[in-house]
Amino acid sequence: MKCVFSIDVEDWFHILDVQATPPLAEWTTLPSRVEANFYRLLDMLSEAGASATCFFLGWIAERYPHLVVEAERRGHEVASHGYAHNLVHRMTCQEFLEDASKSRRILEDIAGRAVMGYRSAGFSVTQDTPWFFSLLVHAGYIYDSSVFPTSCTHGGLARASLSPYCCETEEGPLMEFPMTVATVCGQRICAFGGGYLRLAPLWLIEYLSGTVEAENRPVIYYVHPREIDPDHPRLPMGLRRRFKCYVNLRTTERKLRHILPLHDFVPFAALVAARTAEAKPAEVAR
Ligand SMILES: [Zn+2]
Give, as one character, the DSSP assignment of residue 259: H
Contact of 10 with 83, CB cutoff 8 Å: no
**Cα 16 to averaged position of ligand 1 atoms, centre (Å):** 8
- Quick one: average pLDDT of 8-35? 95
Q: Choose the CATH number for 2-23+31-285 among 3.40.50.970, 3.20.20.370, 3.40.50.2000, 3.40.630.30.
A: 3.20.20.370
**Cα 283 to averaged position of ligand 1 atoms, centre (Å):** 37
pLDDT at 153: 86
**Cα 8 to averaged position of ligand 1 atoms, centre (Å):** 6
CB atoms within 10 A of CB 8: 26
- Quick one: average pLDDT of 180-196? 95
Contact of 43 with 82, CB cutoff 8 Å: no
pLDDT at 40: 98
**Cα 271 to averaged position of ligand 1 atoms, centre (Å):** 22
CB atoms within 10 A of CB 205: 21
pLDDT at 92: 97
**Cα 41 to averaged position of ligand 1 atoms, centre (Å):** 16
Contact of 144 with 136, CB cutoff 8 Å: yes
Strand partners of residue 77: 53
DSSP 14-47: --TT-TTSPPGGGGGGSPP-HHHHHHHHHHHHHH
Q: Give the β-pairing of 182-184 and 187-189.
A: antiparallel
**Cα 279 to averaged position of ligand 1 atoms, centre (Å):** 32
pLDDT at 108 over 80: yes
Contact of 189 with 243, CB cutoff 8 Å: no
pLDDT at 21: 93
pLDDT at 72: 97
Contact of 228 with 41, CB cutoff 8 Å: yes
**Cα 223 to averaged position of ligand 1 atoms, centre (Å):** 9
Contact of 107 with 61, CB cutoff 8 Å: yes
Mean pLDDT of the residues in the chain = 95
> For the chain, which residues make up each domain, given as ranges?
2-23+31-285
**Cα 284 to averaged position of ligand 1 atoms, centre (Å):** 40
Report which of 12, 15, 6 is spatially closest to residue 227, judged by C-alpha positions. Answer: 12
**124-156 per-position pLDDT tens digit:** 999 999 999 999 999 999 999 999 999 888 889
SS3 assignment for 121-179: HHHCCCCCCCCHHHHHHHCCCCEECCCCCCCECCECCCCCCCCCEEEEECCEEEEECCC
Distance between CA atoms of residues 120 and 92, nearest Å: 14
Task: Kindly report the backbone phi and psi dihedral angles of residue 95, in degrees, each rounded to the nearest multiple of 5, phi listed first.
Answer: -60, -40
Which distant-in-sequence residues (6+ apart) come within 8 Å of 231 by Cβ?
none
**190-237 per-position pLDDT tens digit:** 999 999 999 999 999 999 999 999 999 999 999 999 999 999 999 999
**Cα 100 to averaged position of ligand 1 atoms, centre (Å):** 13
Rounded to 10 degrees, what is the CA torsion of 133, 137, 138, 139? 100
Distance between CA atoms of residues 172 and 141, nearest Å: 10
Which distant-in-sequence residues (6+ apart) come within 8 Å of 208 by Cβ?
182, 184, 189, 191, 192, 200
**Cα 15 to averaged position of ligand 1 atoms, centre (Å):** 7
**Cα 10 to averaged position of ligand 1 atoms, centre (Å):** 6
**Cα 278 to averaged position of ligand 1 atoms, centre (Å):** 32
pLDDT at 145: 98
**Cα 113 to averaged position of ligand 1 atoms, centre (Å):** 23
**pTM: predicted TM-score of the whole model, two decimal places:** 0.96
